[in-house]
Amino acid sequence: MESNTFITGILISLVFALLRYIEAKLIKKQPIVLKQTVQEILMVYLSYILGVFLYGQIVDPMNKLTSSPSVFTTDPDF
């Protein structure tokens, strides 16, 4: 995996944390449970990393299979 994957995962987790904070403070007006919030942020991060890994393991090899095989179809030169 590339380092871009980890940076993107961190950015997605930060956006999720911001939205959770806005939801808890402004919409529901409830106190923030730090342990539960950290667990959810880690789940979002790990889900993204696992999704990118599985995509790379499943879809990329399938795209390579759709290319035509390289074989000789003409008469030999000898």
pTM of the model: 0.73
Q: How confident is the model at residue 62 (pLDDT cuts 50, 70, 90)?
A: confident
Give domain limits for the chain: 11-56
- Which amino acid, one-letter code, is at 62? M
Cα separation, 21 vs 30, in Å, equals 10
CA dihedral of residues 9, 13, 15, 16 (deg, nearest 10): 140
Cα separation, 35 vs 20, in Å, equals 13
Which pLDDT score, from 0 to 100, does residue 2 have? Answer: 73
Which pLDDT score, from 0 to 100, does residue 73 have? Answer: 74
